[in-house]
Chain A
């Protein structure tokens, strides 16, 4: 069965520091990978997605992620975070064979001044 692991439940970081949010997946078939962000009291917003092609994917708000098939990872990075990046970040995978979007448990990014 497919699964998504976000090992870090919370990542505290100072403003203007770089950050990496980790995501690993388990699947026996090809997957498509997504990062969603959820700001406090809001819905989910698509940050970026990997469907095919270049393994380095750029998204909104200066975020990027790299698909690593050998390590089954899709880590999210930002070189310099802002207070406004404080939010919950969800990694998710989908497959051709299923309508389901499988979410990780989420990582709360807490940016401090």
Chain B
């Protein structure tokens, strides 16, 4: 089973709201990723967690706050977002973050609209 699940599927929020995106995998993977994807573009890496610790932050604004409560779960907390943050947010996981042959498996995404 190579399934990564994400909730919610859709989210509409105002610029003053606080919301969270959730990602879950049960493949025993120890690396989990957040990507942002704008329309007609490839995904852009935001964060990488390795063994539940934040390893990579690709200069993402602090209004995005990731959290990894355990090895299966990954959250992305959102606060004071801007309309330009509207996008598809994808979660992915891999065996570890060693790159190379370590295939990344993606979830279905959360489509976020910021009003």
Interface residues of A (CB under 8 A from B): 32, 34, 36, 41-46, 49, 51-52, 88, 90, 94-101, 103-106, 108
- Contact A99:B111 (CB < 8 A) given known A44-B90, A105-B41: no
Give min CB distance, B111 to chain A, whole Å: 7
- Contact A32:B100 (CB < 8 A) given known A44-B106, A46-B105: yes
Question: What are 5 inter-chain pairs, A to B, with CB distance below 8 A?
Answer: A42-B109, A43-B108, A46-B105, A94-B101, A96-B98
Give min CB distance, A59 to chain B, whole Å: 12
Q: Interface residues of B: mostly helix, strand, loop or mixed?
A: loop
**Complex CA distance for A95 and B101, rounded to whole angstroms:** 8
- Is B69 interfacial (CB 8 A cutoff)? no
Contacts of B101 in A (CB 8 A): 32, 51-52, 94
**Complex CA distance for A42 and B108, rounded to whole angstroms:** 5
The answer to whether A97 and B109 touch across the interface, beta carbons within 8 angstroms, is no
Contacts of A103 in B (CB 8 A): 42-43
> What residue of chain B has the Cβ atom nearest to residue A39's Cβ?
B108
Report how many residues on chain B are interfacial, defined by Cβ distance under 8 Å: 29
Contacts of B4 in A (CB 8 A): 43
The answer to whether B99 and A96 touch across the interface, beta carbons within 8 angstroms, is yes
Interface residues of B (CB under 8 A from A): 2, 4, 6, 31, 40-43, 45, 48, 55-56, 88, 90, 92, 97-109, 111
The answer to whether A46 and B43 touch across the interface, beta carbons within 8 angstroms, is no
> What residue of chain B has the Cβ atom nearest to residue A101's Cβ?
B104
The answer to whether B99 and A46 touch across the interface, beta carbons within 8 angstroms, is no
Contacts of A44 in B (CB 8 A): 43, 90, 92, 106
**Complex CA distance for A103 and B6, rounded to whole angstroms:** 22
Contacts of B104 in A (CB 8 A): 101
Give min CB distance, B1 to chain A, whole Å: 13
**Complex CA distance for A101 and B107, rounded to whole angstroms:** 16
